[in-house]
Amino acid sequence: MKTTLLLAALPAATIALPTWPWNKPHGHNKPLKYSGLDVLAKRAGLKYFGTAIDNVVLDNPTYISIAHNRSEFGQVTPSNGQKWMYIEPVQNKFNFTLGDQITVPAKKKGQLRRCHNFVWHNQLPDWLTGRNWTKPELVKVLENHIKHEAKHYYNDCIAWDVVNEAFEDDAVASLRKDIWLDVIGKEYIELAFKFARKYTKPGTKLYYNDYAIERVNNKSRAVAALVKDFKKRHIPIDGVGLQAHYTVGRAPSYDEQLATHKLFSDLGVETALTELDVRIQLPDNATLQAQQGAVYANSTKACLDADDCVGITVWDFWDPVSWVPSTFPGFGNADIWDANFTKKPAYYAISDLLRSYD
């Protein structure tokens, strides 16, 4: 199975179960009218609650019926199909099939689309990484790729993750050593945003997206410095995506997350939780699932209480297609539906928290 290779190493934190309504034994005295997560999120003031969708599971009708249920998910993100290795597998030969398999049905169902991504150090084709480029050559390659992909999805994307994971996890949050930095230099980031603004539809939100920036730490401060510099020099940037790949027992608190949203909103950009999941160290049990629900609820509440957090996207919703087990051996069950397509306590944690804002 192809998975998104995002290595989220989060510092330890103690999770305390909150006292919100969902933390009571689930089951109401009388039936409640059903409302999916997106309906509840919009009532609570968000623009969307969404999910990533990967192409490997498109032949499963039960999965598809949930993924494109607009009541549950008002927005979708192609988790892999818009990445460089699939979009431009041969230089200047573009193939939008995998991206379209996600965006076209979503558009028909009236779901918003977040698009992911233009520039990343990973999942690049061999023709790009397997030769030496001059700086002018690689700048032209970068612009050409963004131009063609942005134009193909011109009417499809409310937002683009323009640059993904440009910072390292070292003590000083230095820029990641990759083909872009090595050949073009640090200005590749601003060039990507300039090209994105040039070729995307006016009004499309341009995001910087990264993991382990959900606390105020060296990495999130480095991203904030980038945003501040861009704003000062009028480089287009509209948002920061907090990937939010969390672990039960090590996730940031509500207060820590709210402070991070404020760090970016104070700079005049919106935020979103772009890849939310919460992995459990296996074997799973009811206590861990309750703690997982607390993390999902904390994250949802922080977004709702932030000034400019616009929405939440879970990084898929069904445990069997999660990227977690292949990347973090011994961990899993990170999503909000289990293998039997049963809603987990985490689903109800989110749902009941959103209801409390209605």
Q: Domains, the chain, ranges and CATH?
A: 21-355 (3.20.20.80)
Mean pLDDT of the chain: 92
**Residue 58: helix, strand or coil by DSSP?**
coil
pLDDT in tens, 147-161: 999 999 999 999 999
Residues 6+ apart with CB under 8 A from 51: 67, 72, 73, 75, 76, 77, 313, 314, 316, 317
Q: How high is the pLDDT of residue 27?
A: 40
Of the chain, the percentage scoring pLDDT greater than 90 comes to: 89
pLDDT for the residue numbered 171? 84
Alpha-carbon distance 105 to 102, whole Å? 6
Residues noted as catalytic: 165, 275
Q: Express each pLDDT in 204-220 by its tens digit.
A: 999 999 999 999 999 99
- Angstrom CA distances, 20 to 24, 221, 312, stand at 8, 31, 19
Distance, in Å, from the CA atom of 302 to the CA atom of 89, rounded to the nearest integer, reads 39
Sign of the torsion angle spanned by Cα atoms 80, 86, 92, 95: negative
Integer Cα distance of 57 and 320 in angstroms: 9
pLDDT single digits (tens) 36-75: 999 999 999 999 999 999 999 999 999 999 999 999 999 9
Take residue 43 and report the two structure tokens written for it: 């009532």
Q: Which H helix or E strand runs over 87? A: helix 84-87
Model confidence at 314: pLDDT above 80: yes
Give tens-digit pLDDT for 178-234: 999 999 999 999 999 999 999 999 999 999 999 999 999 999 999 999 999 999 999
pLDDT band at 265 (very low <50, low <70, confident <90, very high): very high
pLDDT-derived band at 358 (thresholds 50, 70, 90) equals: confident
What is the distance between the alpha carbons of residues 125 and 89, in angstroms, rounded to a whole number? 6
pTM above 0.75, yes or no: yes
